[in-house]
Amino acid sequence: MTEAKNPESAASTGPVSRNGRGGKSSATIYDVAKVAGVNPSTVSRALSKPGRVSVKTQKLIEDAAAELNYHVNPFARALPTGRTSTLGLIVADITNPTFFGVIRGAEATVTARDYTLMLAESSESPATELTAARRMMTTVDGLILASPRMDDDNIRALAKGKPVVVINREVDGVPCVVPDVNTGIAEAIRSLAANGHRRIAYVAGPPESWMSRRRWEGVQTACEWSRLEAVRLESSRPTVSGGREVARSVLASGATAVLTYNDLLAIGLMQELQAAAVVVPDRISIVGFDDIFGADFTTPPLTTVRSPMAECGTEAASLLLDALQGIEHPAAFLRVETELVLRGSSGRLLPSAS
């Protein structure tokens, strides 16, 4: 005959829950404290600010938390402090490898300082970007905007609520991290001039892109200095397909060398020209921008102006975290250097092609 068990004993020893309360609800710091044999306030200190308790006590609490599958809820922590230890990052296009470095740099920086990074994309849409930013600002401590498409007034309005840092764009009154494109562009134009090119086409990016306009200005200035002719061509989208679509305009422009807003456009342009039996670089030299992962996988490998996007992500996250800690930077506008990476897609113009 089976002996009847005390209901309270069964609840305390059953495998369904290890939080001492039965049922399937999540464990709390009180449950962790009970298992570890310490006060709840000690658990709070150990899990929110490691190093404030002894190594032995820290180990006891971490083991108890692991046993109970307990995790700190940043939003619950935010109730008394107003902080979630979370930062937001919005990129223009999450499928564009240009932003891989930004994400990695920002992620490594926030993780090292015990923060979490939330990611969203705007799909190149100013309206989508603004909606995502407003929603994200309700749950994060600060926001990084990488190549934002919304207008300056909306960015400044967001910055009035919580700290905001912008990458790849200058916005008055908001901390910015911007690649100095003039250095890399000047190197590219000098290289093309030395190889006999006299008419240079620039394939622009989205109309809302501040960086596309800045790169075109850099091309114009460098071409004027080298006494070359510069023409601007529009693209339908800053992607490989957009590069393929602009190939006819490139040929019609009479340019013998092309700089594109980004590497994706350059790769698509190269593919389409080669499909039309236009030899790169013998007839047309192509120079991209950003030096994305895979830029050297093309045939020939792509010459490009390298932008240190991982450094941009790191610097932006550092500025944002410092602002949250009350650390003021007199120069909240940082420039990072660009450089020309010479590969096989650019070279000397053959006499028959000029």
CA atoms within 13 A on the CB side of 44: 7
Other CB atoms within 10 A of residue 290 CB: 26
Q: Domains in the chain, please, with CATH? A: 7-72 (1.10.260.40), 83-177+309-329 (3.40.50.2300), 180-308+339-353 (3.40.50.2300)
Q: What is the mean pLDDT of residues 266-288?
A: 97
Q: How confident is the model at residue 97 (pLDDT cuts 50, 70, 90)?
A: very high
DSSP bridge pairs for 95? none
Q: What confidence score (pLDDT) does residue 333 get? A: 79
User: How would DSSP label each residue in 81-110?
Assistant: HS--SEEEEEES-TT-THHHHHHHHHHHHH
Q: Is the pLDDT of residue 131 over 60?
A: yes
Q: How confident is the model at residue 13 (pLDDT cuts 50, 70, 90)?
A: very low
- With residues binned 3-state (H G I as helix, E B as strand, rest as coil), the percentages for the chain, rounded to 5, are 45, 15, 40
Q: What confidence score (pLDDT) does residue 73 get? A: 64
Most confident region among 14-23, 73-82, 175-184 by mean pLDDT = 175-184
Q: Which residue has the tokens 């564009």?
A: 96
Closest by CA position to 184, among listed 311, 324, 30, 289: 289
Q: Is the pLDDT of residue 273 over 60?
A: yes
Q: What confidence score (pLDDT) does residue 75 get? A: 57
Q: What confidence score (pLDDT) does residue 68 get? A: 87
Q: Is the pLDDT of residue 345 over 50?
A: yes
Q: How confident is the model at residue 61 (pLDDT cuts 50, 70, 90)?
A: confident
Residue 4 or residue 100, greater confidence: 100
Q: How confident is the model at residue 171 (pLDDT cuts 50, 70, 90)?
A: very high
Q: What confidence score (pLDDT) does residue 78 get? A: 53
Is-contact 123 327, C-beta < 8 A?
no
Q: What is the mean pLDDT of residues 13-30?
A: 52
Q: What confidence score (pLDDT) does residue 137 get? A: 94
Share of the chain above pLDDT 70, in %: 87
Q: How confident is the model at residue 7 (pLDDT cuts 50, 70, 90)?
A: very low
